[in-house]
Amino acid sequence: MRSIHNNYRAGRRNNGYNSRGKFYESNGPDVRVRGTASNIAEKYQQLARDAHTSGDLVTAEAYQQYAEHYYRLVAEQERPRARSQQEIDGTGSPG
């Protein structure tokens, strides 16, 4: 009985796969942002520019840090695609 339950769990694992279309929900300072990682990063970049323009440098830096986090997520999602493309092109390292 237990092995059936474990097999069910194993089938639902994420296995490190992050879809580019995966939606996130971010609760940043004074704002809630939803969307893909790249959409959220762009939104936080815009919020950082707006805060900087209005003279609120602390809030601008906070938004910038949130944007950097989501840019890292985008880069992490692109890494497997780039690796598989290198293998297709024959430019990847063997083995």
Q: What is the pLDDT along the chain (95 residues), one digit of tens a residue?
A: 555 555 555 444 454 555 567 888 888 878 899 999 999 999 999 999 999 999 999 999 999 999 999 999 999 988 877 666 666 677 665 55
CB-hemisphere CA count at 13 Å for 3? Answer: 0
Paired tokens of 82: 């780039």
pLDDT value at residue 95: 53
CB 44 within 8 A of CB 70: yes
